[in-house]
Structure 1
Amino acid sequence: MTSTKITTTKVIAKKTKPATDQLEFGRHFTDHMFVMDYHTDKGWYDPRIVPYQAITLDPAAMVYHYGQTVFEGLKAYVTETNDVHLFRPEQNVKRLNRSNERMCIPEIDEELALRALKELVKLEKEWIPNAPGTSLYIRPFVIATEPYLGVAPSKQYKFVIILSPVGAYYKEGINPVKIAVENKYIRAIKGGTGEAKTAGNYAGSLIAQEKVSDAGYAQVLWLDGLEKKYIEEVGSMNVFFKINGEVITPALNGSILPGVTRNSVIQLLKHWNIPVKEEKIALEDIKIAYKNGSLEEAFGAGTAAVISPIGEFACEDETIVINNHQTGDLAKRLYDTLTGIQYGKIKDPFDWIVKLT
């Protein structure tokens, strides 16, 4: 039975906060964190906010050996009126539990997880930077902690939430990036763990990312793992294409992560009466659209960048230049609208914002 009372132990001496212009993504961490433990005999227990500290684990802890772990990522924003906004946090908690199910990790009470997240962010409000484009990144994660080398689900876990102040993703404005199509390595396959947010997915993508980075590209365009002809994701983001006035994004197929930003983009497009559909997209279809002049825009969508315009795809046999390497009108409108809602600058017609009081 989950204990629902969250205890709080505050730090004695607070850390020195980094200057806003020195913020890097994921390099600085706040004074406190949330921790909750699990044992098969007790369920989830002892939810607590404690000073940020190292986690000590047995060398045989199962997370080290079999990768039984999941995580999430979302942000807190401070508005011009000094309110604190969360953007659709309930969706991240729901997705965390879907990842838990896939990785054989016990379900976490979603109401308790949301309450813990809110209490932690409120306690650390002074850590939320207020310069344009900055925010407080929130990283919930679960790790298997049982010391056991048998291949089986762990009987013990830790659920942790840590916070990190982060700078503007685009330091010089929203600009298109160059993407390389990956045709050797595979990110995920239907029936695998692609639709779960688990560490191994990202570890397996690093070699391809290193390869394209050395060649001057920002991200990898991942193709399906079976036929290597259908587009799935770009880097760690969902991807969208605007072709002849219609927006298309790969359908969720069991290997694609169901992004919260992806879902928000789809809802916005429908709200604006812009045609949008989710379906299989072959790379060859994008090449054809490029050659006949109907490929108008392409962009990634995810928590960190919100919207990342794509100016170029490098394929084995050709280079596809999109919108003359310029940010498209739709990508800019989506970016301005989503960030405007997040920072409280424009009306939220979907009730996406959770205001902390």
Structure 2
Amino acid sequence: MRRVGFVVNPIAGMGGRVGLKGTDGKVEEARARGAEPRAPERGIEALQALREAGDVDLFTYGGKMGERAAHEAGFEPTVVGYPDGEETTPADTRAAVEALVEAEVDVVLFVGGDGTAVDIAETLDALNTAVPMLGVPAGVKVYSSVFGVTPRAAGRLAARFDRTAEREVNDIDEDAFRGGEVHTELRAVATVPVGDDLQSSKQVGGGTIEGLAEAVAADAREATGVTYILGPGSTLAAIKRELGVDGTPLGVDVWRDGDLLVADAAESDILATLSEQNRIVVSPIGGQGFIFGRGNPQISPDIIRQSDVEVVASRRKLEETGVLRVDTGDPDLDEELRGWLQVRVGAYERRLVKVV
């Protein structure tokens, strides 16, 4: 029977839907904007898949750091400790990992983002242990290659893996990220279970996008009354420039009939601007293939269901990415989005790419 250690960072990802692009140092602001915890439900989803995939003995930390999610998923876990207070901290995460290793777990399955991954990787390294770690993606920014591609994928992999490999743990400067700049840093190298459903590191795709941007912008100018929800990234930044707006390189902007309605929009801002016709334009994350669920949680399932979706990418980026992925937080919507999708790679050219 596999012994699985489980720990949740309960505030991970709270900043995403309200446009904060991360929660480090921004918990109170996220709450003031109406943010709701995202990590617990992601953890429950992973644990349900874990139960279905194999015979496991679950060890976890108390309260909202794992115990509650475990009970919701149908486990009767062994609780190895409790956080010091109601508001959890990185110190609680580190203490949880130490307790799980002492309990001789075979893998530490955690729910969080890159910041949580750094805390866990550094703790495991300090303990000089060979116990592997595996992430359930719940953060706004997920640049590290230690996460399952979805919560359920992480749960299945934790139950079934038979080999491990060293993978990168990356993090970014969130303040710079909010200002439109990406400063990534390799923070650790961790031992991770490997399988087909393990996420790659984020890479930047190359290729010329000027013609693509001009064509998409031209179509948008002709689409009277259509609300455009323009996602983050360099490809979309080129489209925004063609539209003549000062958009947000790493945020979501809303445009209609020649006007920038909202810059760096939160979910509530986007919902307030939707019209009878809405079009989401996004580009996959290079190396990972995500079109929803990484870097753009402001574009929520409710928004997606009310909009057409156009995916754009340079030819080179699409070739390097291979398949597309979705992780909206709504399994039914994810299933609806899967299948073959036309991706626009030029003024007139489109390519069929599978969403898996």
Higher strand share: 1
The higher-RCO structure (CA 8 Å, 6+ apart) is 1
Higher helix share: 2
TM class by shorter-chain length?
A: under 0.3
TM-score (norm 2): 0.26
